[in-house]
């Protein structure tokens, strides 16, 4: 129970995000109106994804330094959890775009960059599954993960700012903070980021334990056969 406090916190924060995000007063911004509530899901999931990817990269670096498969397990599963949030972030973003821009996919530079970034990480999963040797998979996966993250960050944060974009804070458009002085968004927005991140860490930790159990069973069977 002492080690589960953060899981309870994750559930509490996400319940708060869903209820407060849907029911609390929201600023009536031009065009956005009530769709501003999507901010608590679309944007916060992507923030959670970035934080999970940071943890994954740190573990990839630690694997390359130690060659310990536990770090590879963590890197892989934190990346998988981040990828799930990335896909959900794009899906919620498409719904938001339909109501504010008139189409699910308008070819916006940030939309395109996000899709490319997600495909990069799908390629990471395909690459890992194509390598049968555990150490080779871990080593190549770690190198790919580090370079993928180094490309992903400028792809979604830097390049869209250099071109015309409909997204707030990009292409000359003001960010939310520039024209939104309503604190109701902030009291949900920041807890939502923490909640999604903790949920992703929870999912990754379960998958890591499953990997270790599977590896232990395989090693036991091999020892029995030999």
pLDDT in tens, 141-160: 999 999 999 999 999 888 77
- Evaluate whether 59 touches 204 at the Cβ level (below 8 Å): no
User: What is the end-to-end Cα distance of the chain in Å, rounded?
Assistant: 40
pLDDT category at 105 given cuts 50, 70, 90 is: confident
The model's pTM is: 0.88
pLDDT category at 62 given cuts 50, 70, 90 is: very high
Give dist(CA 36, CA 54) in Å, integer: 27
- Helix, strand and coil percent figures for the chain, each rounded to 5: 80, 0, 20
Phi, then psi, of 175 in degrees rounded to 5? -75, 170
pLDDT at residue 25 in the model = 76
pLDDT in tens, 202-223: 999 999 999 888 888 877 777 7
pLDDT at residue 178 in the model = 44
- Evaluate whether 31 touches 100 at the Cβ level (below 8 Å): yes
């Amino acid at each position: 129970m002492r080690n589960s406090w953060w899981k309870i916190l994750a559930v509490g924060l996400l319940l708060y995000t869903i209820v407060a995000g849907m029911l609390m007063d929201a600023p009536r911004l031009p065009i956005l109106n009530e769709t501003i509530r999507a901010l608590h899901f679309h944007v916060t999931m992507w923030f959670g994804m970035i934080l999970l990817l940071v943890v994954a990269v740190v573990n990839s670096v630690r694997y390359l330094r130690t060659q310990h498969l536990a770090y590879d397990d963590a890197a892989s599963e934190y990346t998988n959890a981040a990828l799930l949030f990335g896909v959900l972030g794009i899906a919620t973003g498409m719904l938001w775009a339909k109501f504010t821009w008139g189409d699910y996919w308008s070819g916006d530079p940030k939309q395109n960059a996000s899709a490319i970034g997600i495909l990069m990480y799908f390629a990471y999963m395909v690459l890992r599954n194509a390598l049968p040797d555990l150490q080779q998979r871990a080593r190549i996966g770690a190198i790919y993960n580090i370079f993928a993250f180094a490309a992903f960050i400028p792809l979604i944060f830097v390049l869209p700012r250099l071109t015309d974009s409909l997204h707030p804070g990009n292409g000359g458009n003001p960010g939310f903070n520039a024209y939104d002085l309503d604190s109701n968004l902030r009291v949900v927005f920041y807890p939502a980021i923490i909640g999604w991140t903790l949920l992703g860490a929870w999912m990754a930790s379960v998958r890591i334990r499953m990997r270790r159990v599977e590896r232990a069973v395989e090693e036991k069977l091999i020892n029995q056969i030999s």
